[in-house]
Amino acid sequence: MELDKHSIWIGGFILSCFSLFVALVPIYVPIFWIFTVMSLWFFLSEKSKVIDTRALVLIVLALSFMGLASFIFFKYREQSSFSIYFKILTNYSFFAAAVLMLAVVRLRTYLKWFEALFITVLVLSFLQVLGKVIWFNLWMLPFSIEDSSDAFAISQGIILFGNAQKNIWATKIAFFGSLYFSACYFRIFRCSSMLWHFLIAMWVFTLFYIASRTGQVVMVLFFLGLFWYSVIKKLPWYWRFLMVFAFGIFLWLFVPWFIERLLRLDESVFDVAAQGHGGDGFKARIKLWIYLLTHLSDFNHFRGNGVMFLDHFFEGVFYESNIHNVFATIWIDLGLLGFLLFLTLSARVLGLVGASSSFFVLVGIPFLASLMVQYLGYDNDLVVYLSLALLLADLHFNYFRKQELV
């Protein structure tokens, strides 16, 4: 293939996505900015400057989100974080640039490039985890975890490919896996049955041994959706009814075990009066959410309070500045307008129910579940996921264009 302008453009996008997993140094920052500037230059050098309306709306939403964040940052400078503000500028400018590229370049020409990105990430993630399991003899780790501190055994030693924070590491891999296997389900990537099962096994092994509950829940939600559309939905209605009924019985019998062993929770998690959380990450999240709900009068709900206002909100109460809920974080930091901008942007990307409910179930629901318990809302993982979801949407639905119907 001739290495033309569009090839370089796509290569820059793929390198940006791959850079999320380089663990030793945050090289994604310069790579994101290089891609953003390159995207603007390439678009301006296009002979035709026509851009799809849907792409334009997404770009305007991303720029509006950045503009509002800038206003809030300077208005509440004393209670804002510059590093988080810079993260917003870096990540959402990347998203706008990615939308510009996806709307201009003929993506089907580069299918093998995109598939190579996903497979490379899944294989290298597996090898990184397998190497740690062998080196530190962690074969029994998932079966011997009593609390969250035990689960961090996988983080010891040097991490070359992944993330030093194991929960973020696992969620990144869960994201890439759910996107890749969704693309296979939609026949965007025509991988063989052997390759499919081999990669699925590596993905499950990787998430099982990183032992992050968030990543595992993302994986389980994806598998439930995939099983529904691949098996149950194809059955006659009476078999579907019986399968759903049997699944309900299964949940009734095994949910307590699931909550206790996989999520590692017990009734003490809901004891509001108890002090501390015993080092358990999910218990800490619930206590943060309860604290938020009981202190709703301590911040402005409509105009915003500052970028990363939670640093001040929790000061002296929790040694934590992330409430682990994207929607709550953006609502507190950027106010009602910021919340609506983010919600609208996410809905424009993931709310493709009219075209295909399976797309929303497989691509949207696992992602939204992670937003409820993990990220700030300004993170590179999120904008890369949304960009890759748009990539799949365009390849599957011709989201930005009509001339590529196959």
Task: Give residue-wise pLDDT tens across range 206-239.
Answer: 999 998 888 988 999 999 999 888 888 777 877 7
Is 304 among the domain residues? no
Least confident window among 151-160, 220-229, 353-362? 353-362
In a domain, 272, yes or no: no
Residue 119 located in a structural domain: yes
Residue 250 lies in a domain: no
Mean of the pLDDT values across residues 253-268?
A: 59
Residue-wise pLDDT tens digits, 36-54: 999 999 999 887 777 888 8
Contact 221, 366 (CB under 8 A): yes
Cα separation, 75 vs 66, in Å, equals 14
Q: What is d(CA 402, CA 394) in angstroms, rounded to the nearest whole number?
A: 10
Confidence check: pLDDT of 265 > 60: no
d(CA 302, CA 288): 21
Q: Please compute, for residue 1, the number of CA atoms within 13 A of its CA located in the half-sphere on the CB side.
A: 13
Tokens coding 9:
């453009």
* 265 located within any domain: no
- Residue 182 binned pLDDT confidence (cut-offs 50, 70, 90): very high
23 backbone dihedrals φ, ψ, rounded to 5°? -90, -30
Asked if 62 and 99 touch (Cβ cutoff 8 Å), the reply is yes
Q: Is 282 part of a structural domain of the chain?
A: no
Domain that includes residue 393, residue range: 5-230+311-397
Q: What is the pTM (predicted TM-score) of this model?
A: 0.90
Specify if 117 maps to a domain.
Answer: yes
**Among 406, 347, 356, CA closest to 107:** 406
Total domains, the chain: 1
Q: Residue 153 in contact with residue 144, Cβ under 8 Å?
A: no
